[in-house]
Chain A
Amino acid sequence: MKNAVGREIPQEILKKTGKEVFRGTHYYDGKPVQKVGPKTNVVINNNGSKLVDTIHDVLVKCKIKNGMTLSFHHHFRNGDKVLNMVMAEVHKMGIKNLTICASSLGAQNDPIIPMIEDGTITNIESSGVRGGIGQAISEGKLKGLAIMRSHGGRVRAIETGESHVDIAFIGAPTADEYGNLNANGGKADCGVLSYSAVDAMYADKVVAITDTLVPFPNLPAQITQTYVDYVVVVDEIGDPAKIATGAAKPTTDQRKLLMAKYCTDFVINTPYFKDGFSYQTGVGGASIASTIYLAEIMRERNIHMGFGVGGIAKPMCDLLDEGLCRVLVDTQDFDQPSIENIRTNPNHYYITAGEYANPFNKGAYVNKLDFVILASLEVDVNFNCNVVVGSDGVITGAQGGHPDTAAGAKCTIVITPIMQGRIPSICTEVTTVTTPGEDVDVVVTDYGIAINPKRKDLMEAVKGKGLPIKTIEELRDIAYAITGEPEKVQFGRRVVGVIEARDGSIIDVVREIKPFEFKAEKKPAKRTAKKK
């Protein structure tokens, strides 16, 4: 069955998952949705401690068994040790058919690949997968399905019971013996525990894993004792050097700076750029550079940001410290300075992933965004974006907050060069749709800026401002003139992954990769670039 972005979703997958096809970003707006009530093992006794000696013991106490769903967060990013540590123990116990429900997975989790191969893990739910796990899924090694959800979509899935977590493991930089958890301080400081909030509230069993036990009560607590069943103390939950890098040096890559300049020039010419505007951006070189450019204009015109959302990195904290931004709301910290900043600047607030982006609550922060600046592996002429599947067909990225913020923001800007290496990133049809084109307003490239034709207001706003405005087709044609039109990736038949829209419907599927077969009769792509 074809969905709203023109993708054919196989009937067997709709049947197997019980999901519907994507009908548009606002299909559920205003409709009532039933949430599930979480199960709680009540604690009435006054025995005091929830400490358990080892991960093995806690798995036994949680009565782990085949077929359960275990959840994890990715706040420790490349430095995460919790997921691997828990899974190694689970593997030793011989448990099978598990579903991993993680807020994201990356190369740091590659040690679990053999567990995918031997059937310990048969299903994966994540916002996407980088590293070897993505490769393994694309090669068809996972027996079940990989479900890729946005950060907001994950909260929705857990709250509605679509995804039921049996045991949540929450790596906590600091914890007390009764389960008050915080992310500020400890050896593996990560700033916030936003992605874990929903796990804590909805999982049947909640296990905190910490390497820094502090005296009770550990306040302020981002996750409180009323949600936590057990606390395990281990040597190390993360590698601080890999959790957050130092502040990224502003890029000197001229192409990125050029795109950043185009982006800022666009932003300041829209009606949304006025005192009190709101803004979110990523940590790519161009994103950071555009924040720095924008700050110059804000100073010049005495315009202040009402609030910034993120995914926070140093440039946003600098705006906050300087008083150019009133408030930051934070779901993830990308570098050491932002972890430091949330501890020291009282206007830098922790919010949960649900508050940030869940489409099925009474209004998330993303809905209040004026601008979001995003990146994308591919953008097609319908403005659909692909941030999960590489142009080689392998799962290699994550939706993260991309679909959430794109849907929420009044002006969604995607920055990408028209080519990445030899591969055109502006194309006729993305390999996989992960964010629908209806939510993408502007694409900024090194060759010019394309505005979504449905945004006549934005076209009007920037008219005559000297910006290099082009149509998205023109940008694609420039890219194709240089690279030639690429042949489509050839997939196998089997569906290995499902790309969920924010609301849980299916926006696309990912199939198993197969070796490329050259068609003998077809000549190689001809170079069409012409000299004037």
Chain B
Amino acid sequence: MINEQKKKRLRRSMMFLNGQKPSLIKDPYIYKADSLMFDLEDAVAATAKDTARFSLYHALTTIDYRGSEKVCRINGLDTDLWKEDIRCVVAADIEVIRIPKCENAEMVRQVEAEVLKAEKEFGKEEGQTLLMAALESAKGVLNAYEVCTASPRMIGIALSGGDYTKDLQTTITGTGVELMGARQHMIIAARAAGVQCFDTIWSNLDDMEGFRKDVETIKKMGFDGKSCINPRQIDIVHDIYTPTQKDIIFAEKVIKEIDDKKAKGIGVFTVDGKMIDIAFYDGAKRTIMLAKASGVYKGDL
């Protein structure tokens, strides 16, 4: 059974952690990222793939990650490593598997088949392992919609800006101009498919102001969250995704009014001078959810 509630959970921040480094994977939850992404792919040296799997398995089965979602980036489908990666992390009850360099629906289905096999092998509940895909090429970005809809396990797609810009024959400029098209296309595809959309990392740790602006931009575009490479980025992301008190009060009114008016058979009405109907309901619910996650909501919804 696929847990729809879990698929839609809050994922403002997804922190990348090198699966090869015990010091990183032992207690990253103290920084309170919504999701933790343990990497078995590029961060792990070719000679350390086995040890990384081994220590990740034991970390996942021993450590209580205290509410942070556990995601694992497996090795690419063009390697002989990814199937064993899947066995390892499914056996350890990983919550989400991230498919690197995904270009089409077929690749998602290949991973899905292996995941199902592993779930059966280790006696796990079928469907407990969710999937997400990293789009890292022009082709992948163009096929975003088919990737999003390739499996009911799919929670969303993430842009991998480094590889993608290489494919475009440009570089990361810090202005975001090179990512504009991909970002816009991906968010449209994800929303059309009813899944989430995550933005690429910001690699310049000395430019925190640039990072803040970048996150502000992607939030405005509709992205669900940002990939982080250092804990110091997490608070900034959460801060930007935290609704203002004004937003919260308005969302509260919208929800209460819609519930109230629905009972009375009224479809359209105004709140604080703005026209409101049922279309605003989910947005308002999301605002309250974000407010709760950020610890700023004191109301009773």
Chain A residues with a Cβ under 8 A of chain B: 252, 254-255, 257-258, 446-447, 466, 481-482, 527, 529-532
Contacts and interface: CB of A to CB of B under 8 A. Distances in A.
Given A258-B231, A531-B61, 5 more contacts: A257-B232, A466-B295, A530-B64, A531-B62, A531-B93
B100 to A, nearest CB: 26
A531 B57 CA distance: 13
Contact of B231 (A254, A447, A531, A532): A254
A254 B230 contact: yes
B260 interface: no
B27 interface: yes
A446 B231 CA distance: 13
A529 B31 contact: no
Contact of A258 (B31, B63, B64, B93): B31
A109 to B, nearest CB: 33
B30 interface: yes
Nearest to A445: B30
Nearest to B294: A466
Interface of B: 26-27, 30-31, 61-64, 93, 230-232, 295
B30 A447 contact: yes
Contacts of A257: 232
Contacts of B31: 254, 258
Contact of B62 (A258, A447, A529): A529
Contacts of A252: 232
Contacts, number: 29
Contacts of B61: 531
B63 A529 contact: yes
Contacts of A532: 64
Q: Which residue, A481, A482, A527, has most C-beta atoms of chain B within 10 A? A: A482
Contact of B30 (A255, A529, A530): A255
A65 to B, nearest CB: 55
Contacts of B232: 252, 254, 257
A395 to B, nearest CB: 28
Contacts of A531: 61-64, 93
A408 B61 CA distance: 46
Contacts of A254: 31, 230-232
A446 B62 CA distance: 20
A374 B64 CA distance: 30
A288 B197 CA distance: 39
Q: Which residue, A252, A530, A531, A532, has most C-beta atoms of chain B within 10 A? A: A531
A298 to B, nearest CB: 20
B231 A527 contact: no
Nearest to A255: B30
Contact of A529 (B64, B93, B230, B231): B64
**Which 10 pairs show the lowest CB-CB distances between chains A and B?**
A254-B231, A446-B30, A466-B295, A532-B64, A529-B62, A531-B64, A254-B232, A529-B64, A529-B63, A447-B30
B242 to A, nearest CB: 12
Q: Which residue, A254, A257, A527, A532, has most C-beta atoms of chain B within 10 A? A: A254
B141 to A, nearest CB: 32
Contacts of B26: 482
A447 B32 CA distance: 11
A530 B63 CA distance: 7
Nearest to A447: B30
A447 B30 CA distance: 7
9 contacts: A252-B232, A254-B31, A254-B230, A446-B30, A466-B295, A482-B27, A527-B62, A531-B63, A532-B64
B228 to A, nearest CB: 11
A159 to B, nearest CB: 46
A208 B232 CA distance: 50
Q: Which residue, B27, B62, B231, B232, has most C-beta atoms of chain A within 10 A? A: B27
Q: Which residue, B30, B63, B64, B231, has most C-beta atoms of chain A within 10 A? A: B30
A258 B295 contact: no
A502 to B, nearest CB: 35
B237 to A, nearest CB: 14
A464 to B, nearest CB: 9
B68 to A, nearest CB: 11
B115 to A, nearest CB: 20
A531 B63 CA distance: 6
Nearest to A259: B30
Contacts of A258: 30-31, 231
Contacts of A530: 64
A178 to B, nearest CB: 54
Nearest to B234: A254
Contacts of B93: 531
Nearest to B205: A252
Nearest to B232: A254
Nearest to B29: A447
B234 to A, nearest CB: 9
Nearest to B28: A254
A167 B31 CA distance: 54
A527 B63 CA distance: 10
A530 B62 CA distance: 6
A305 B231 CA distance: 31
A260 to B, nearest CB: 12
A446 B66 CA distance: 14
Nearest to B26: A482
Nearest to B67: A532
Q: Which residue, B62, B93, B295, has most C-beta atoms of chain A within 10 A? A: B62
A527 B62 CA distance: 9
A254 B93 CA distance: 28
B257 to A, nearest CB: 29
A466 B27 CA distance: 21
A127 B62 CA distance: 42
A297 B231 CA distance: 22
Nearest to A464: B298
A477 to B, nearest CB: 12
A153 to B, nearest CB: 37
Contacts of A447: 30
Contacts of A529: 62-64
A364 B61 CA distance: 54
A482 B59 CA distance: 11
A495 to B, nearest CB: 38
Contacts of A466: 295
Contacts of A446: 27, 30
B60 to A, nearest CB: 8
A254 B64 CA distance: 20
A104 B295 CA distance: 47
A297 to B, nearest CB: 16
A481 B295 CA distance: 27
Contacts of B63: 482, 529, 531
A481 B63 CA distance: 9
A447 B232 CA distance: 16
A344 to B, nearest CB: 31
Nearest to A261: B235
A254 B28 CA distance: 10
Nearest to A531: B64
A511 to B, nearest CB: 33
Contacts of B231: 254, 258
